[in-house]
Chains A and B, each alone.
Chain A
Amino acid sequence: MKTETSAVDIDRNKGDFFYPEAHVRDAGIGLSERTIHYIADVKDDPAWVREYRLRGLKTFLEKPLPTHWASKDLEAIDFNKIRYYLSPGTEPKRSWDEVPDDIKRTFERLGIPEQERKFLAGVEAQFDSEAVYSNIKKAVGEQGVIFVGSREGLKNFPEIFRKWFGKVIPIADNKFSALNSAVFSGGSFIYVPPGVKVKHPLQAYFRINAENFGQFERTLIIADEGSEVTYMEGCTAPKFNTPTLHSAVVELIALKGAKIQYITVQNWASNVFNLVTKRGLAQENAEVKWIDCNIGSRLTMKYPSVIMKGRKARGEVLSIALANDGQHQDTGAKMIHAADETTSNIISKSISIGKGRATYRGLVHVPKHLKNCKNNTECDALLINATSRTDTYPAITVRGTGNAVQHEASVSQVSTEQIFYMQQRGLTEAQAMSLSVNGFVNDLVRQFPMEYSVELKRLIELEMEGSVG
């Protein structure tokens, strides 16, 4: 057995490795009220959170799977075979030295260099359910920025936490937000005080490490009046033979004049169901921007939303999806205009390779008597192989005069002339194809922070390997 974990194996499949599990806390397999009480006990939840979890469970059990519009593949999830909670039983660490060695090695394999801390304002890495490492640069802490795990947030800052928790995404929003409400653990809690502009992005890495284990992190970001913050999350997960479920809830609150930018690079293993609810609330003059990039997972269903509640609020979703063999990227965006002069922008680009399927599902809602609301939606899909599939299902409701909404979508393939031109210049067909695909997403990728755009380009090249010829 030991000889199989050779260095060559690891290099070929970055992220496809794991270390022995040493979980101290384990809620067992399956979901019942007992599981909820177990989690609440272990986490020492206040009574209202325990109550909240139980309501979440009830709603989850009552709600049917949304298969009347969503993929039937959801039926492949066996909720009774999933472990809903486990943690290494360690408290979040303050310094790098205290992090256990095997976990350190995991992060090294993921390519999180220790030096990155110099650049990043703080690092919060989630290993399974609990944050095992959490560090905020002194400077950020001095500005009064809170960047902690959701459990710590709940314990140490209950008045802010409780005020906003579950307010943007109610328990009953959908079946999976209810599930998360029942069993959530981990995730980040961020509060940026009025006027504070956090220069460096706050970053967190998530991983799934235990077989048959769903990860249910819960992130809550509050940007107080006039503040600015960028948050980045990236995921890789080791490959396992049985399906794994990831179902997060992320709530963003941008108060008057605040700006939140939330960046995700999702690269789960190809057996993971990634069913995530993400929604931001933008008050007057505030801006919520989602940059969402989906490369991994078996089925991703994720439609980042912005509710523009105050005058002149802005919402934006920039989305890149890459669907390879056996993958279905069902992504999109929702823009709810709820005040005058609100503007939203959705730009979605998807690439389907092999038998991959990319779906854009969007919702734009401009209810009555609003003035000067604008939405612009553009979705472009690129098909690489004859067996690739792409779908677009937008739903746009506009009431009243004084608003402008436009939606455009196109589906195309890489032009043979482009490929021919590049081959003439000495590139192989595969290189030309890869270059073309990178060109297709380039204007979006440019908006990503530098290290992410580099990583992304590399990932696209990796995915394109073997898709031609």
Chain B
Amino acid sequence: MPSVTNHEFVKPESILSGPSESGEFPDWFCDQQRAAWREFESLPKPTRKDQAWRFANVGLLDLSPFKHGGTLTEKERATILEQSRGLEEVAGRMIFAGDELIERDVISDQLKKRGVIFQPLERAMVEHTDLFRKHFMSQPAKLGSAKFAALHQALVSSGTFLYVPRGVEIELPIEIFHWLNGENTSAFPHLLLVTDELAKVTVIEHFRSVNEDAPGFACGVNDLVAGPGAKVTYVCAQNWGDSVIALQMNSTIVDHDASAMSLNLHLGSRYSRFESLSRLIGEGGRSDLLAVAVAKDQQEFDARTLQDHVSPHTASDLLYKNALDDRARTIFGGLIRVEPHAHFTDAYQKVRNLLLSDDSEANSMPGLEILADNVRCTHGATSGQIDEEELFYLRTRGIPVPVAQRLIVTGFLDEVVQRLNHPAIAEHLHRLIEEKFAENHG
């Protein structure tokens, strides 16, 4: 007999039945959730005719099978904890199964003393209401998924709140795990990260499924705020099971002289859409957007980005690389927008696709909207395949074709990972990529 925790969902219900009325959240939050639910219901379903969903397989977005996460058995809990292995050394850690926080390794007393707050979302909304309300989903979902952002807001019930005060630098990364457990379950991951002036922090999120083949649904939102002069690094290692439908909407605010870097690694899921909005609101701000995807079988990775230059003297640099095999598809829809008066913008955007099979398909839509004149903006998109000469060279050195191919692809992707300049995380991401290739060749 599985032991039942004190969580209320005894019988899992469809996510389409709306927000839970469990009464565990403050009234203002419940009001927000009800309003968000109404918004979710009123907004139309995306169609391929919407520019923001061009090329996307919107038919995959049927939410009717998905239900709220059920309760875990002790055995499942133990398995998840056992498998939640990421980096060797971390400053703090949270592990979520569905929307339930199942373990938290708190930050050191020293960091606590200096004012760092690292706690579950539902506690932060009570204990740090002002900070929470100021930043929680403060950016509208501009990249097409307003409907799903509303769904997230209506149904989110936990997540991570991290606040780093002025001048505090957290050397080791903060690590967060999100697990989908069981058939057709759902998760609504949320990270609210606020850094004050000159603070520094690195966060890595892992997205995984307990059962590789189980269908599931994930709909996450991250609010990342880089205060003046702060340095924020965010890494996402998306490795959901191969039948999962996942949507993630990240928005980053970059204040003056701040620097934000994000790297999204996409390995898992059936369909994964990742929206990254980076808003540069202060002079001297810089944003680096990086992504690596290894897509195979029928996988579809749908990346939409917006580098929004609001203030003059800001810089952004995007580098997305996809390796595609089998019948996989990737979509990149990116936009550099330079608002009026955002002069002295320096923006760059590059997407590169490496096609490894005849049935793979790469769609690229690198876009520019420039409303100021004193700018330097360039973008590029390339699609190609493994260079025969490179392959030949490796073969003359006695390296068999499959190994040579893997080396070339890994090398192709490595350029992006190296940009992180974080050896421990780079090593972890490499391992994940290697594992994915290992599956590929039986």
Instruction: Pick the most buried of B357, B360, B373, B385: most chain A CB atoms within 10 A of its CB.
Output: B373
Contact present for B373 and A404 (CB under 8 Å): no
Contact present for A399 and B360 (CB under 8 Å): yes
Is A397 engaged at the interface, CB distance under 8 Å to the other chain? yes
Contact present for A413 and B363 (CB under 8 Å): no
CB B20 to nearest CB in A, in angstroms, measures 36
Is A134 engaged at the interface, CB distance under 8 Å to the other chain? no
Contact present for A411 and B376 (CB under 8 Å): yes
CA distance A406 to B382 in the complex (A): 4
Contact present for B373 and A409 (CB under 8 Å): no
Note all chain A residues with C-beta closer than 8 A to B377: 410-412
Specify the chain B residue showing the minimal Cβ separation from A406: B382
Contact present for B380 and A401 (CB under 8 Å): no
CA distance A394 to B55 in the complex (A): 13
Note all chain B residues with C-beta closer than 8 A to A405: 381-384
Contact present for A395 and B363 (CB under 8 Å): yes
CA distance A324 to B278 in the complex (A): 31
Contact present for B385 and A402 (CB under 8 Å): yes
Contact present for B381 and A404 (CB under 8 Å): no
Given contacts A386-B374, A388-B373, contact A404 B383 (CB under 8 A): yes
Is A21 engaged at the interface, CB distance under 8 Å to the other chain? no
Contact present for B357 and A385 (CB under 8 Å): no
Given contacts A390-B370, A394-B367, contact A368 B378 (CB under 8 A): no
Contact present for A368 and B370 (CB under 8 Å): no
Instruction: Pick the most buried of B364, B383, B386: most chain A CB atoms within 10 A of its CB.
Output: B383
Binary B-proximity of A122-155 (CB < 8 A = 1, otherwise 0):
0000000000000000000000000000000000
CB B317 to nearest CB in A, in angstroms, measures 15
CA distance A381 to B372 in the complex (A): 12
Given contacts A411-B378, A413-B375, contact A395 B365 (CB under 8 A): yes
Contact present for B378 and A392 (CB under 8 Å): no
CB B359 to nearest CB in A, in angstroms, measures 6
Note all chain A residues with C-beta closer than 8 A to B343: 386
Contact present for A400 and B358 (CB under 8 Å): yes
Binary A-proximity of B322-353 (CB < 8 A = 1, otherwise 0):
00000000000000000011010000000001
Note all chain A residues with C-beta closer than 8 A to B355: 398-401, 403
Contact present for A394 and B383 (CB under 8 Å): no
Instruction: Pick the most buried of A383, A385, A401, A405: most chain B CB atoms within 10 A of its CB.
Output: A401
Given contacts A68-B49, A412-B375, A412-B376, contact A403 B368 (CB under 8 A): no
Contact present for B385 and A410 (CB under 8 Å): no
Note all chain B residues with C-beta closer than 8 A to A401: 355-358, 385-386
CA distance A37 to B52 in the complex (A): 42
Is A408 engaged at the interface, CB distance under 8 Å to the other chain? yes
Specify the chain A residue showing the minimal Cβ separation from B54: A395
Which residue in B50, B366, B369, B384 is a CB contact (below 8 Å) of A404?
A: B384
Is B77 engaged at the interface, CB distance under 8 Å to the other chain? no
Note all chain A residues with C-beta closer than 8 A to B357: 400-401
Contact present for A68 and B372 (CB under 8 Å): no
Note all chain B residues with C-beta closer than 8 A to A399: 355, 358-362
Instruction: Pick the most buried of B375, B376, B381, B386: most chain A CB atoms within 10 A of its CB.
Output: B381
Is B51 engaged at the interface, CB distance under 8 Å to the other chain? yes
Specify the chain B residue showing the minimal Cβ separation from A385: B373
Specify the chain A residue showing the minimal Cβ separation from B379: A409
CA distance A384 to B375 in the complex (A): 11
Specify the chain A residue showing the minimal Cβ separation from B385: A401
Is A407 engaged at the interface, CB distance under 8 Å to the other chain? yes
Is A391 engaged at the interface, CB distance under 8 Å to the other chain? yes
Is B58 engaged at the interface, CB distance under 8 Å to the other chain? no
Which residue in A369, A395, A408, A412 is a CB contact (below 8 Å) of B358?
A: A369
Is A396 engaged at the interface, CB distance under 8 Å to the other chain? yes
Note all chain A residues with C-beta closer than 8 A to B385: 401-404
Contact present for B380 and A408 (CB under 8 Å): yes
Binary B-proximity of A350-369 (CB < 8 A = 1, otherwise 0):
00000000000000001011
Is B399 engaged at the interface, CB distance under 8 Å to the other chain? no
CA distance A288 to B312 in the complex (A): 43
Specify the chain A residue showing the minimal Cβ separation from B386: A401
Given contacts A383-B373, A404-B383, contact A409 B368 (CB under 8 A): yes
Tally chain A residues at the interface, Cβ within 8 Å. Answer: 37
Is A32 engaged at the interface, CB distance under 8 Å to the other chain? no
CA distance A399 to B358 in the complex (A): 7
Binary A-proximity of B211-237 (CB < 8 A = 1, otherwise 0):
000000000000000000000000000
Is A447 engaged at the interface, CB distance under 8 Å to the other chain? no
Is B407 engaged at the interface, CB distance under 8 Å to the other chain? no
Contact present for B362 and A397 (CB under 8 Å): yes
CB A239 to nearest CB in B, in angstroms, measures 28
Contact present for A397 and B55 (CB under 8 Å): yes
CB A143 to nearest CB in B, in angstroms, measures 43
Within 8 A of B (CB), among A390-437: 390-413
Contact present for B366 and A392 (CB under 8 Å): yes
Which residue in A381, A384, A391, A409 is a CB contact (below 8 Å) of B380?
A: A409
Given contacts A405-B382, A407-B380, contact A389 B371 (CB under 8 A): yes
CA distance A394 to B335 in the complex (A): 11
Is A119 engaged at the interface, CB distance under 8 Å to the other chain? no
Is A48 engaged at the interface, CB distance under 8 Å to the other chain? no
CA distance A407 to B378 in the complex (A): 11
CA distance A412 to B343 in the complex (A): 11
CA distance A406 to B366 in the complex (A): 12
Contact present for B370 and A407 (CB under 8 Å): no
Given contacts A69-B51, A400-B358, A400-B359, contact A384 B373 (CB under 8 A): yes
Specify the chain B residue showing the minimal Cβ separation from A396: B364
Contact present for A390 and B54 (CB under 8 Å): no
Contact present for A368 and B380 (CB under 8 Å): no
Contact present for B384 and A413 (CB under 8 Å): no
Is A387 engaged at the interface, CB distance under 8 Å to the other chain? yes
Contact present for B378 and A409 (CB under 8 Å): yes
CA distance A411 to B376 in the complex (A): 6
Contact present for B381 and A396 (CB under 8 Å): yes
CA distance A68 to B47 in the complex (A): 12
Note all chain B residues with C-beta closer than 8 A to A387: 340, 373
Specify the chain B residue showing the minimal Cβ separation from A386: B373
CB A397 to nearest CB in B, in angstroms, measures 5
Instruction: Pick the most buried of A369, A385, A405: most chain B CB atoms within 10 A of its CB.
Output: A405
Specify the chain A residue showing the minimal Cβ separation from B338: A411
Given contacts A407-B380, A408-B379, contact A393 B358 (CB under 8 A): no
CA distance A369 to B358 in the complex (A): 6
CA distance A395 to B379 in the complex (A): 13
Contact present for B381 and A406 (CB under 8 Å): yes
Note all chain B residues with C-beta closer than 8 A to A383: 370, 372-373, 375
CA distance A68 to B375 in the complex (A): 28
CB B108 to nearest CB in A, in angstroms, measures 47
Given contacts A395-B54, A397-B55, A397-B361, contact A409 B372 (CB under 8 A): no
Which residue in B366, B372, B378, B383 is a CB contact (below 8 Å) of A398?
A: B383
CB B409 to nearest CB in A, in angstroms, measures 13
B interface residues with partner A (beta carbon < 8 Å): 49-51, 54-55, 340-341, 343, 353, 355-386
A–B pairs, 13, beta carbons within 8 Å = A68-B50, A368-B358, A383-B370, A386-B373, A389-B371, A392-B366, A394-B381, A395-B364, A395-B365, A398-B362, A400-B359, A404-B383, A406-B382
Given A400-B355, A402-B385, 20 more A-B residue pairs with CB atoms under 8 Å apart are A366-B383, A369-B358, A381-B368, A383-B370, A386-B373, A386-B374, A389-B371, A390-B370, A394-B365, A396-B362, A398-B353, A398-B355, A399-B358, A403-B385, A409-B368, A409-B378, A410-B378, A411-B376, A411-B378, A413-B374
Top 6 nearest A-B pairs (CB, nearest first) are A383-B373, A398-B383, A401-B385, A392-B368, A400-B358, A411-B377
